[in-house]
Structure 1
Amino acid sequence: MLTTRKLLHRARKVTSCIKILITPIREVNSIPQFNRKQFADNGFYCSSPAFLGRIPIRFCSSASVMETVDWNQKWPAVDACEESNIEALDKNQGTYITVKAYLLGTSVDLKGLQTEHVFDVVPPNSRSANNVVLRVSSNNMLEHSSTKTGIEARNESWSNHRHMVVFQYGSVVLFNFAEQEEEGYLQIVRKYASDLLTETRKDDYAIVEKPSLDTWMREGHDYIVLKRFDIDCIRTIGIVLGQSIALDHFVRQVDGMVAEFIDLNKGMEKTGTFTMKRKKLFQLVGQTNTNLANVIFKLGLFERSDVAWKNAKYAQIWEYLRDEYELQQRFGSLDYKLKFVEHNVRFFLEILQNRKSDALEWLIIILLSAEIMIGLYDIIRNTGMDHFTNF
């Protein structure tokens, strides 16, 4: 499933490739007295399949192409999709680790999960209680058939294990799991989850561990290259991916509320009134407040990872991934939508309140009218009795 972030990333990549291919042609066409036949005879070719014919292409620096140009020079071919080659090279030279993020429900009982799988739990490095890391050896955790103790299992190589980060707010991030075994491990978490979603949300990412890397990390397209992959990398990456997939769920919920109010406004535009009941509006108020509280407090969207606080290397990963997944921008969009919903809720509640006030005013008018009628009746009756008595 392609998320909005992936679609934007791929669109930017395609756009950059097009710019690489189009810009040189514009530069050549801008040269006075351009003779295409002369260039063709000199044997200039474009290596990109996007262009047909023999078209001269040269990638220039900030200097103008009107400066010294050697037309007899055969320029080297430039591949517009060089980024794909770099990605393939990274995967071949390093250890490729798949990362899958899922959202199963609104909450997970972490204490119950840790109690049943105590030997698989990686000891936490802080007092944070909103996530737990489970390490899985080559023996399937579902079978519990391992004869090794928890300490012996932890001393094995990292390449012999897979890791699962489970968050209290319902996200699960799987590291290095085969696709056919993912569902089995997700079923373990579902036993401790509440308010399961009808449609499981999913997002894909990848890590390339490359010890020969000159720097601590290097970014890629939907993957990150790390010099060393360890438990702190798992915690840091897991936190960002878990927050991202959960935030996507809350955004979809708010989008549904926005669509509901848009339809309500359209109906009111046509009929001059609306039919939503007061109870439904109060439910929307509660849902709006709950979503905002979950994003800020439950997800901890504005809280820096404990590992990132202690080590600048992991802080670099944390900041890069937050920017890559656009968490700040997505929260800003969510907050804007919530304000739109809040404005509409306030508006319609005022209308309902005015309706109630109008009803009360009419009730008062009716009671006053009844009281006046009773008073007139008493006056007429008393007047009639006095006249009869005098007669």
Structure 2
Amino acid sequence: MTASAPAVVRRLTARALLLGDRLDSAGLERADAFSTNPLAFRAGSDGFVALYRFGVAVMIGLSPLEEDDVLNLVKLRVFGQHEHVDDETAILAIAPGGDDRVEPDGPIELRDESPERMLVVCDALAKSVSLGRDEREVNAVFDVVEPFAASLAKSGRAPWRRRSMLKLIGETLIAQHRVSGRVAVEEKPDVLWDRPDLERLYARLEDEYELRERAGALTRKLDMIVGTARILTDILDADRATRLEATIVILIVAEILLTIGQLIFLKHA
């Protein structure tokens, strides 16, 4: 006889919502919380909630009404709220006695519903949804920077006016501020310090959502954007210096001409 595959006894929906730029969980602490970083606790009839400081709330196993109750409470602590809420959804299949597996385009299979496993899943979903927003914001700036860089390389001259250049520098600084340091994708969740046996599950989730690859591509684009902003700053400084030198030369020539005119006038007076 061959051993049959463990039966899936429960399916849960996990939703990660990017609500804003920052989420302050101070004041939301609970006695039944099983984690403080991120703040995580049970909610609803039998669900989980994890709140991340970079503006993400992850809810597992909650009904729509239960999710609304959590969001109404959490939104009071969100700063820099987004008009459009990004979300990432995954299906969890709880299979007691089975293995933790992440099938491509399939459910995330878990051995049990332990808080530690839920935290590992929440961490991957939170990073993925936040990376999605960062990718869109950086790509919007990159789409403007790339043609400018190509034109600058081809002609050797800035093709835009000063105001356009300043606007691009401002957009670059905003993208850098929003992205840099907000989500430490390469950092593993704290729960793995106590549960090293969950390292394999996290590695599979990391591969499934391509967290490292996406973070690397994001960093490279951001580096190019920042480098372009520095070039723009240098161009503006050079233009300012050129204008200043031209103004000084004009003043010197004007003074010389005025002096010559005075000498001629005195000679014929």
Tell me if TM exceeds 0.5. Answer: yes
Q: What aligned pairs does 1:156-171 form with structure 2 within 5 A after superposition? A: 161-171=46-56
SS of the residue 1:229 aligns to: coil
What one-letter code is carried by the residue in structure 2 that aligns with 1:100?
A: R
- 8 A Cα contact 2:21 2:78, kept in partner: yes
Shift in alpha-carbon separation, 1:336–1:258, aligned structure 2, 3 A: same
**Shift in alpha-carbon separation, 1:340–1:136, aligned structure 2, 3 A:** same
Alignment correspondent of 1:219? 102
Alignment match, 1:179: 64
CA distance 1:276–1:133, shift in 2 (3 Å): farther
Shift of 1:226: 1.8
Any stretches of 5+ residues in structure 2 without a counterpart? none
Within 5 Å, which residues of 2 pair with 1:148-297? 161-213=46-98, 215=99, 217-220=100-103, 221-262=105-146, 264=148, 273-275=159-161, 277=163, 278-294=165-181
Give the Cα separation in 2 of the matches to 1:304 and 1:281: 35
Partners of 1:101 and 1:289 lie apart in 2 by 24
Q: Amino acid of the residue matched to residue 192 of structure 1? A: R
**Structure 2 matches for 1:58-137, cutoff 5 A?**
93-114=8-29, 118-119=30-31, 121-124=32-35, 128=37, 131-137=38-44
AA in 2 matched with 1:287: I
Aligned partners of 2:243 and 2:168: how far apart in 1? Answer: 19
Looking at structure 1, the residues matched to 175 and 44 of structure 2 have their Cα atoms a distance apart, in angstroms, of: 42
Match of 1:47?
none
Q: For residue 244 of structure 2, what is the aligned residue in structure 1? A: 360
- Map 1:265-344 onto structure 2 (within 5 A): 273-275=159-161, 277=163, 278-294=165-181, 298-344=182-228
Shift of 1:249: 0.6
Identity among equivalent pairs (%): 21
Is residue 99–residue 205 contact of structure 1 (8 Å, CA) maintained in 2?
A: yes
| Alpha-carbon separation, structure 2, partners of 1:292 and 1:244 | 13
Q: Distance in 2 between matches of 1:324 and 1:291?
A: 25
Deviation digits for residues 14-47 of structure 1 (CA, Å, limit 9, x no counterpart) = xxxxxxxxxxxxxxxxxxxxxxxxxxxxxxxxxx
Aligned length: 262
Gaps of 5+ in 1: 1-85, 139-160, 386-391
- C-alpha distance in structure 1 between counterparts of 2:44 and 2:225, whole Å: 48
Tell me if the contact between 2:91 and 2:107 (Cα under 8 Å) persists in the aligned partners. Answer: yes
Aligned amino acid, residue 162 of structure 1: G
User: 1:110 is matched by which residue type in structure 2?
Assistant: S
| Counterpart code for 2:41 | L
Q: Give the corresponding residue for 2:267.
A: 383
Shift of 1:264: 4.7
Give 1:23's aligned residue.
none
Secondary structure in 2 aligned to 1:212?
coil
2:44 and 2:62 in contact (8 A); partners too? no
* 8 Å Cα contact 1:244/1:325 also seen in 2: yes
Query: What is the rounded CA distance, in whole Å, between the counterparts of 1:314 and 1:191 in structure 2?
Result: 33
TM-score of the superposition, structure 2-length normalised? 0.85
Q: Greater strand share, 1 or 2?
A: 2
Q: Structure 1 residue 347 and structure 2 residue 252: aligned? A: no
1:166 deviates by 0.8
